A = this chain, B = another copy of it.
């Protein structure tokens, strides 16, 4: 099976349909898994400190403290007070976004679809019992969202690289409230033009099962046009952001025996 965590029993689990949001509490040391069940589904993600929601996950501090704009395995995610909130301990995709705001009612009005379900209202609703309203939904991390940055800073939303059962796994470094929404955007390629379901699960702080073996990933090539997608490479690395030659976009492999979870 593709997901070694299925051997463990989550202490909390939520199924999230497109346009829905869920809030879940995660204690220091516990693991939060965010999984796309059918593939190509973006998960908008925000987080707040339990007991003091004025402290929250900050994408700008996370970019600055890591000197990088791409969330990737091993990275620490920081709060607006520049405190470590999460570590990314597993990531079966390697391509996520922390540049885009949540979709919201005004976005869909602009697209000619007033009243469309949207991540911002879904997150606000899921976090309302913690006193967190619409205006206080921070800039999210958009797990599985595939945004290319072009030479003059233009952003281009592309279909996610995430396939069925792909996931990220975060270790909480504080006691937090996490909010996750399954993006209902079906008018642009954000979710492969077909929003589907997410699962989120919280696991106890205990040793992880062995890391899945990585399937060979492409080696760097002098000429992207001739890069071999199947060429062996010892360790996974994040996708190249800028190339328009799709052959140079690497994807972190994972074991897949064909069984479904």
Contact = CB atoms under 8 A, between A and B. Distances in A.
- Tell me what chain A mostly uses at the interface: helix, strand, loop, or mixed: loop
A80 B83 CA distance: 23
A225 interface: no
Nearest to A71: B153
Given A60-B59, A60-B99, A67 B154 contact: yes
A67 B158 CA distance: 13
Given A151-B242, A153-B68, A153-B238, A135 B80 contact: yes
Interface in A91-141: 99-101, 104, 106-107, 135-136, 139-140
Identical subunits present: 2
A248 B156 CA distance: 23
Given A100-B60, A101-B58, A81 B152 contact: no
A155 B68 contact: yes
Nearest to A239: B152
A70 interface: yes
Nearest to A53: B135
Contacts of A61: 101
Contact of A100 (B64, B140, B153, B155): B64
Contacts of A106: 81-83
B149 A69 contact: yes
Contacts of A54: 135-136
Contacts of A88: none
A139 B81 contact: no
Interface string A153-173: 111100000000000000000
